[in-house]
């Protein structure tokens, strides 16, 4: 019996050793003003804690500073980066292991704009997709949003460096920077000394089903399942929503209801995998959560 118990303990120790993950590497922040990086890093840490099941919690470490295209490559390769968060599309979900739980309940698909203060009156007169087509959006190179906007004939110019997008709007070299519902307010606030003419315009919401997921290399299924279990546990016990309601990135958006004068423009997302369950209220905010008509069809004019 003693030999049997010794053998069982040895097997359990061996399994725990296989499952042990000492460190998880992520890219460095895009800039020293990148609040979203801290939001996702702290959410990742909480997910690792909630999904640990008795295992030692890995240390989260930053590796290199890299643009999104490089981060995508490194996660796919699985050597310098173990996990990162991307706006999802079908190709990413083929190349990497997607943890299909939106990190902000799909808020990234509800877009409000960063514009130059001189453009306020112009945007006050935009009430349809057709009118928005007369303006040019600034987006980051390799972002999935590029294909989404272009599929609805919305003009787009791209920028390789994240910080240069704000510079370009401030210089009036494009008309608007469509930001996730929760991003624009903070992004303008922390840059008010550098770009004093930028404003966060809240009277238009451009919506398309879209989400940021955590991604890992396909070779690191243990880590992916750990994060997935942790996020689900956080949703079940309410910690996920509390994270959103308390973090600097997202706290200011609650409650979600909008004033009646907000113009809602809805477009499709052809880049989203067809089996994405974006109507699932457990994981995704719905238009009705904001006071928008949930059955409103994508704008065609």
Token duo for residue 44 = 């990742």
Question: Mind listing the pLDDT tens digit of every residue in the chain (301 residues)?
Answer: 554 444 544 444 434 444 579 999 999 998 787 889 999 999 999 999 999 999 999 999 998 888 888 999 999 999 999 999 999 999 999 999 999 999 999 999 999 999 999 999 999 999 999 999 999 999 998 888 999 999 999 999 999 888 999 999 999 999 999 999 998 998 999 999 999 999 999 999 999 999 999 999 999 999 999 999 999 999 999 999 999 999 999 999 999 877 778 999 999 999 999 999 999 999 999 999 998 865 444 444 4
Predicted TM-score (pTM) of the model is: 0.84
SS3 for 265?
Answer: strand
Q: How far is CA 105 from CA 71, 100, 140, 235, 284, in A?
A: 23, 11, 22, 11, 4
Q: How many residues does the chain have?
A: 301
| Span 86-95, pLDDT tens digits | 999 999 999 9
Check: CB of residue 126 under 8 Å from CB of residue 204.
yes
Check: CB of residue 298 under 8 Å from CB of residue 266.
yes
Report how far residue 162's alpha carbon sits from residue 155's, in angstroms, rounded to the nearest whole number: 19
Report how far residue 139's alpha carbon sits from residue 74's, in angstroms, rounded to the nearest whole number: 22
| Span 170-187, pLDDT tens digits | 999 999 999 999 989 989
SS3 for 64?
Answer: coil
% of residues, the chain, pLDDT over 70: 90
Q: Is 13 exposed, middle or buried (0-12, 13-18, 19+ CB in 10 A)?
A: exposed
């Amino acid at each position: 019996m003693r030999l049997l118990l010794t053998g069982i303990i040895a097997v359990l120790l061996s399994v725990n050793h296989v499952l042990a993950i000492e460190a998880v590497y992520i890219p460095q922040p895009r800039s020293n003003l990148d609040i979203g990086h801290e939001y996702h890093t702290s959410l990742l840490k909480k997910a690792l804690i909630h999904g640990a099941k008795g295992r030692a919690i890995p240390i989260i470490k930053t590796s290199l500073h890299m643009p999104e295209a490089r981060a995508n490559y490194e996660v796919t390769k699985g050597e310098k980066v173990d996990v990162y968060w991307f706006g999802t599309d079908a190709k990413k979900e083929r190349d990497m292991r997607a943890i299909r739980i939106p990190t902000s309940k799909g808020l990234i698909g509800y877009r409000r704009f960063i514009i130059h203060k001189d453009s306020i009156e112009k945007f006050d007169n935009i009430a349809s997709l057709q009118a928005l087509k007369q303006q040019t959006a600034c987006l980051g190179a390799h972002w999935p949003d590029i294909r989404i906007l272009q599929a609805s004939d919305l003009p787009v110019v791209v920028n390789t460096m994240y910080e240069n997008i704000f510079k370009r709007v401030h210089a009036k070299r494009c008309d608007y920077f469509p930001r996730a519902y929760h991003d624009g307010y903070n992004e303008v606030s922390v840059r008010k000394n550098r770009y004093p003419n930028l404003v966060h315009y809240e009277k238009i919401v451009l919506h398309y089903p879209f989400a940021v997921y955590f991604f890992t290399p396909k070779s690191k299924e243990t880590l992916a399942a750990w994060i997935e279990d942790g996020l689900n546990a956080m949703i079940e016990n309410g910690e996920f929503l509390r994270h959103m309601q308390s973090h600097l990135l997202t706290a200011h958006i609650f409650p979600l209801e909008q004033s009646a004068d907000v113009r809602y423009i809805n477009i499709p997302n052809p880049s989203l995998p067809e089996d994405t369950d974006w109507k699932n209220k457990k994981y995704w905010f719905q238009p009705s959560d904001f006071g928008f008509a949930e059955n409103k069809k994508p704008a065609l004019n």
